[in-house]
Structure 1
Amino acid sequence: MKALIFQRSKSATQSGRARDGQWALVRQRGEAQQHDPLTGWIGSGDTATQIELNFNSEAAAVAYATAQGLEYEVQPLPPRALKLQAYSDNFR
């Protein structure tokens, strides 16, 4: 099974940075989803994709993935570019 390890970004709807910098491990889907004609829902028997594990560092997430025998891919956050400007620049 394959897993994706990524770094959390700041939420766009919040100004705080409570979970900023945490790392998450999400398992990728092992089987294809199927359409249920009776209910119209789409799903599969693979329930491992519903679990998301949080870690404080990339090393801890990688150590967990290797201990569980998972293939993993690491996606760090791109560097943030701050746009510094004065308040008066909004009115030009």
Structure 2
Amino acid sequence: MPTARIYQRPKNAMQSGKHRTDLWQLEFEPHEAQRADPLTGWAGSGDTQGQVRLGFPTLEAAKAYAEREGIAYLVVPAPEKTLKLQSYADNFR
């Protein structure tokens, strides 16, 4: 039985915007470890489910899909957002 994790997309650290952070992702857990290719040295495996990422508008939709398809899942809660409040003058202290 395939296993997956459902999580909410985090904000991109390189951008200030929050585009698509309200979407939920279903991502399959790897079934085999990656190994280095002897010719190129690149890491890879025969597990093609590791390439699959499904997006859902809500957590309930992602759970319903996993249950309908018989996929065992683990919901990873989104980390709490903390604001670091400071004034512009704090840069010069």
**TM-score interval, normalised by the smaller of the two chains:** 0.7 to 0.9
Unaligned runs of 5+ in 2: none
Unaligned runs of 5+ in 1: none
The size of the alignment, in residue pairs, is 92
Is 1:3 paired with 2:39?
no
Identity among equivalent pairs (%): 52
Distance 1:83 1:32, change over 3 A: closer
- Hey, what's the Cα distance between the residues in 2 that align with 1:88 and 1:32? 50
Q: Taking structure 2 as the reference length, what is the TM-score of the superposition?
A: 0.87
Cα root mean square deviation, aligned: 1.4
Residue 38 of structure 1, CA deviation: 3.7
CA deviations over 1:20-70 (Å, ceiling 9, x no partner):
121101001123334433443332221011011111111111111111111
Q: Taking structure 1 as the reference length, what is the TM-score of the superposition?
A: 0.88
What residue number does 1:69 align with? 70
